Amino acid sequence: MGCACSNQNHSKEPEYYNSNSKTCHEPRDSMQHNSNQVCVSDEDVVVAQYDFQPANENDLQFRKGDRLKIIKETGEWWLAKSLVTGNEGFIPSTYVARAQTLEVERWFFKDMSRRDTERLLLAPGNKPGSFLVRESETTKGAFSLSIRDSAPEQCDVVKHYKIRALDNGGYYISPSMAFPSLQELVKYYSSKF
What's the Cα-to-Cα distance from 40 to each of 35, 59, 82, 88, 89, rounded to whole Å?
12, 21, 13, 15, 17
Among 166, 164, 165, 134, smallest CA distance to 147 is for 134
Residue 161 pairs in a beta bridge with 145
Task: Find the range with the poorest average confidence among 7-11, 43-47, 86-90, 98-102.
Answer: 7-11
Q: Distance between CA 14 and CA 58 in Å, rounded?
A: 21
Average pLDDT score over residue span 85-94: 94
Backbone φ, ψ for residue 93 (5° rounding): -65, -25
Q: What is the C-alpha separation between 89 and 78, in angstroms, rounded?
A: 8
Between 193 and 124, residue with greater pLDDT: 124
* Partner residues linked to 92 by β-bridges: 77
Q: Is the pTM of this model over 0.85?
A: no
Mean pLDDT of 66-83: 93
Domains and CATH numbers, the chain: 35-101 (2.30.30.40), 105-190 (3.30.505.10)
Average pLDDT over residues 84-95: 93
Cβ atoms of 180 and 169 closer than 8 Å: yes
With the CA atoms of 7, 10, 12 and 17 taken in that order, what torsion angle do they form, in degrees rounded to the nearest 10?
130
